[in-house]
Amino acid sequence: MGIVGRVVELDADASPVAPTGTVETTEGRRQVCFVYLPDAAVGDVVLVHAGYALDRLADDDEGMR
């Protein structure tokens, strides 16, 4: 089961092989890996599963209102 969250920070010092960052969800902030979404940007709404950002969602799909 995945959760939806908004990217609030990308770690500048993270490895380019396994970029990481922070996602804000309805349950708090989570550290996630962006290896499947290397072009993710702060403000993007993403689907997270098992610590990995898997897909970018449209703002109106976010379900975080």
Please write the tens of the pLDDT for every residue from 12-33: 887 878 899 999 999 999 999 9
Please write the tens of the pLDDT for every residue from 43-60: 999 999 999 999 999 876
- Bin 38: left if φ > 0, else alpha if -120 < ψ < 50, else beta: alpha
Q: Domain 3-59 carries which CATH code?
A: 2.30.30.140
Helices (H), 1-65: none
Amino acid at 2: G
- Output the pTM of the full model: 0.84
d(CA 26, CA 20): 19
